[in-house]
Structure 1
Amino acid sequence: MASVLEDPTLERHFKGHKNAVSCVHFNPNGKQLASGSADKTLMIWNLAPKGRALRFFGHHDAVTGVQFSPSGKRVASSSKDRTVRLWTPSMKGESVVFRAHTAAVRSVAFSADGLRLVTASDDKSVKVWSVDRQSFIYSLNQHTNWVRCARFSPDGRLIVSCGDDRTVRLWDTSTKHCLNCFTDCCGSSTFVDFNSSGTCIGSSGADSSLNIWDIRTNKLLQHYKVHSEGINSFSFHPSNNFLITGSSDHTVKVLDLLEGRLIYTLHGHKDVVKSVGFSQAGDLFASGGGDCQILLWRTNFDRKSYHDVLQKHGQRSTPDPPPHLSDIHPRSPHLHHPQDSTVQVSPAVADTRSADPQVIELGQPPHSNMRHRNTGKVSVIENSSLE
């Protein structure tokens, strides 16, 4: 029950982007947060109280996706300018440019070993790239409309993708075949991802729905409809017990996946929430929105329950380590509506603990004549085999 949990708290906010924040991602080391924006820049925020922020110029259009590599030493970004950039997040501001697609690139993600990138695009394709060789490998081409998001499974054997053709597709990375096509979406599918064990996938929709499937049985486990407008992003907690969503209704919601219900509604953004993400440790999560700011939250609600769940599900008949989403009851799909008992958290954003950090700008804005700026180094990798 929500009453026995500790409420999430707003730790601080980050202001520095000049337009909507479209994507956020934590460095696995827990010390940095990356964000991308419609202002065409990538920013790296130091989570230390007085840490400086870095702003990277290079993209010629809105940044749509951002992700740290598993080592935390590189950052990949995707953009509507049809390219993907691979950055070294340092004062040198260096980046490698992948001429990735023939239309806007909507997402970019690393494989768990950091050796590959997967990208999704409005050109209806999903593409896979070699990070070390900095080269294009192959395309996946069965989507019939814009592809909004693509992610590797934790073991790298699968890719999940979704798009405006109202499908979620599961791909085998070795055979390049589409293993399954989920068509339960009532509208454009906006975001997809695997849970940390790789046994379930979630997908969100412009129709405000969230679906969770068990990919071992290809069955729908849970169906939520807790927002009043479309869901733009979600993130599984590392324990797989919780999930956060960001919506165009200006709220972030926290779902308890084991109990199968909404437990928190977080207010704070004054506009559309474009992106949400948990830190690797799960103790923090971030949300970015159309109000040009990033809110950093402390989780709190997972402190006690995770150990309780481990004990509760210690005796299992299946070989999978506990906890697992198949432990939920009821196991049949069920619809969730907002309830008056849901805890509403409305922090005073203006009263957060930190002032805006000092921002160091690296690279030169496109079509700018500004001087005295570190221009950085850029290498270009062409996709010689667009499929």
Structure 2
Amino acid sequence: MRNVRLGPKDKRQGGTSKLEAASSSPLGRDSSRNSATMRPDPTLERNFKGHKEAVTSVDFSSSMKQIATCSTDCSVMIWNMKPQRRAYRFDGHEDSVTSIQFSPSGHLVASCSKDKTVRLWVPNIKAQSTVFKAHTATVRSVHFSEDGQALITASDDKTVKVWALHRQKFLFSLNQHINWVRCARFSPDSRLIISSSDDKTIKLWDKNSRECIHSFYEHAGYANYVDFHPSGTCIAAASTDNSVKVWDIRSHKMLQHYQVHNGAVNCLSFHPSGNFLLTASNDSTTKILDLVEGKLLFTLHGHQGPVNCVAFSRTGDYFASGGSDEQVMVWKSNFDESSDGARVQQSTCPTRQASELSQTAAKTGRRHAGAHGRSSPGSTSTHTNVQGPPEPPLQVPLASEESPTGLTSTLEHIMGQLDVLTQTVSILEQRLTLTEDKLKECLQNQVASHARDQASWTPHAQY
């Protein structure tokens, strides 16, 4: 990795603070930060090359042992974090693969494609998968619920659909969008759904009532990607107007508006702590935003061409990006080594409700003035940023290296057997359905034959 070089200071244009830590090195830092609070730079750990065309989506397994990616080359790839282990290439989709995600347990991978299907893969060398036709047009997005029991898909057929995972059974559809739906995500508690569409709306849905609670409107462009803050109280949207916006889903107010990219923003990912936001753009950069202070922290220059996707690992220790240059880059965050204690600790939404803001804005302003001598020049927030009282650390399942080897292997064997059992039950259910269909067809033929016999029988005339 080349030496880090500081970028120029921010320039204010039209009353909006625009930070661009430009640099010829792979990583640039926002030089407006005080040297006393400098965070260690993210470091490039791995660079995966294997796709033949643009990488469209990336995700980490919960154990951090594997990374899943998909591409317009119609393939899915599973990369192993250990350098000595080979990658797996899965072929099955008949058109560009648009989105991919590990299940919470890490034992399944879901992918969707322009071929209108969703595939569920077992991420091992056997490349076993089940497939079902999910929509009548390109499927743009796939996402597991936190408990791993449900799957949500978004499509160019203007619908969002929810599925029961264990039977790939369709549950219900959300139909109020009037143009292609780019993305749909479950909230952390799986009670809400957020979706974004080319109709320039972002819709918030209640999963139980299936009603649209609120519509957020984009005026200059549409949102390529949306996601929930880990607290579940905010959403962020990556827009084609080059901006990133954060809304409070309770007050329905925009909390922050970042104009730090020079091209459409394609994807974003929250750090598990909720304090940082990772973004990817057509301007060939990946950026890290500090949501608590409303600042741009880092600009990463690594990809040659548009960056299509980004994702933090489940613990936030790593993040990955994929681009049109066919590359997948994995970075170490280094947030846990910062001098101001950014170790994963889940916060509330970066900006509190309006009533809370009015009570704390003045106090917060005095505190920041005392710490920095003036307001932060790098702020791109349209509202005051107030960090709520810290909540208990976010507990993310992670395979412990210190756990007994025997117990780990036993658990992995049990999970593998459960996967096999689930697939077996699914096959039996499909066969039962076929049998029922054939029986129904036989009964219908029998009834039709009896009706024909009755019609052909004519009673003798009586004299």
Q: What TM-score does the superposition give when structure 1 sets the normalisation length? A: 0.81
Q: Does 1:241 align with 2:266?
A: no
Over 3 Å counting, the alpha-carbon distance change for 1:178 and 1:145 in structure 2 is same
1:74 maps to amino acid: L
The equivalent residue for 2:350 is 325
Q: 1:289 aligns with which of 323, 328, 331?
A: 323
Q: Which one has a larger percent helix, Structure 1 or Structure 2?
A: 2
Q: Distance in 2 between matches of 1:74 and 1:219?
A: 37
Contact (CA 8 Å) 1:80, 1:104: kept in 2 or not? yes
The equivalent residue for 2:292 is 258
Higher relative contact order (CA 8 A, sep 6+): 1
What is the Cα deviation at residue 305 of structure 1? 6.0
Q: The residue matched to 1:50 in structure 2 has which SS?
A: coil
The equivalent residue for 2:369 is none
Q: Structure 1 stretches of 5 or more lacking a match?
A: 312-320, 338-376, 382-387
The equivalent residue for 1:349 is none
2:330 maps to amino acid: L
Q: Which one has a larger percent strand, Structure 1 or Structure 2?
A: 1
Over 3 Å counting, the alpha-carbon distance change for 1:243 and 1:153 in structure 2 is same
The equivalent residue for 1:215 is 249
Q: Does 1:31 align with 2:61?
A: no
Q: The residue matched to 1:132 in structure 2 has which SS?
A: helix
Contact (CA 8 Å) 2:55, 2:323: kept in 1 or not? yes
What is the Cα deviation at residue 184 of structure 1? 3.6
Q: Distance in 2 between matches of 1:177 and 1:303?
A: 44
**Superposed counterparts of 1:67-86, under 5 Å:** 67-86=101-120
RMSD: 2.4
**Superposed counterparts of 1:109-128, under 5 Å:** 109-128=143-162
Contact (CA 8 Å) 2:336, 2:342: kept in 1 or not? no
Q: Distance in 2 between matches of 1:2 and 1:124?
A: 47
1:303-333, Cα deviation, whole Å (9 max, x unpaired):
336746999xxxxxxxxx74541269979xx
Q: Does 1:197 align with 2:231?
A: yes
Contact (CA 8 Å) 2:48, 2:329: kept in 1 or not? yes
1:236 maps to amino acid: F
> Identical aligned pairs, as a percentage?
53
**Superposed counterparts of 1:32-111, under 5 Å:** 32-111=66-145
Over 3 Å counting, the alpha-carbon distance change for 1:232 and 1:306 in structure 2 is farther
Q: Distance in 1 between matches of 2:267 and 2:59?
A: 12
Q: 1:7 aligns with which of 33, 41, 45?
A: 41
1:263-316, Cα deviation, whole Å (9 max, x unpaired):
1110010011000000011010000000001011110134336746999xxxxx
Over 3 Å counting, the alpha-carbon distance change for 1:308 and 1:98 in structure 2 is closer
1:326 maps to amino acid: T
The equivalent residue for 2:413 is none
What is the Cα deviation at residue 258 of structure 1? 0.6
Contact (CA 8 Å) 2:231, 2:348: kept in 1 or not? no
**Superposed counterparts of 1:115-194, under 5 Å:** 115-194=149-228
Q: Structure 2 stretches of 5 or more lacking a match?
A: 1-32, 365-378, 383-423, 431-463
What is the Cα deviation at residue 49 of structure 1? 2.2
The equivalent residue for 1:318 is none
Q: The residue matched to 2:351 in structure 1 has which SS?
A: helix
Q: Distance in 2 between matches of 1:5 and 1:64?
A: 34
Contact (CA 8 Å) 1:172, 1:178: kept in 2 or not? yes
Q: Distance in 2 between matches of 1:322 and 1:105?
A: 33
Contact (CA 8 Å) 1:239, 1:306: kept in 2 or not? no
Q: Distance in 2 between matches of 1:122 and 1:264?
A: 34
1:321-348, Cα deviation, whole Å (9 max, x unpaired):
74541269979xx8469xxxxxxxxxxx
Q: Distance in 2 between matches of 1:164 and 1:237?
A: 26
Over 3 Å counting, the alpha-carbon distance change for 1:249 and 1:92 in structure 2 is same
What is the Cα deviation at residue 217 of structure 1? 1.6
Over 3 Å counting, the alpha-carbon distance change for 1:197 and 1:305 in structure 2 is farther
**Superposed counterparts of 1:327-366, under 5 Å:** 335=380
Q: 2:304 aligns with which of 265, 270, 278?
A: 270
Contact (CA 8 Å) 1:309, 1:323: kept in 2 or not? no
Contact (CA 8 Å) 1:246, 1:253: kept in 2 or not? yes
Over 3 Å counting, the alpha-carbon distance change for 1:2 and 1:168 in structure 2 is farther
Q: Is 179-188 or 31-40 further displaced after alignment?
A: 179-188
Q: The residue matched to 2:136 in structure 1 has which SS?
A: coil
What is the Cα deviation at residue 179 of structure 1? 0.3
Q: Distance in 2 between matches of 1:282 and 1:310?
A: 7
What is the Cα deviation at residue 116 of structure 1? 0.5
Contact (CA 8 Å) 1:310, 1:323: kept in 2 or not? no
Q: The residue matched to 1:28 in structure 2 has which SS?
A: coil
Contact (CA 8 Å) 2:101, 2:110: kept in 1 or not? yes
Q: Does 1:228 align with 2:262?
A: yes
Q: The residue matched to 2:70 in structure 1 has which SS?
A: strand
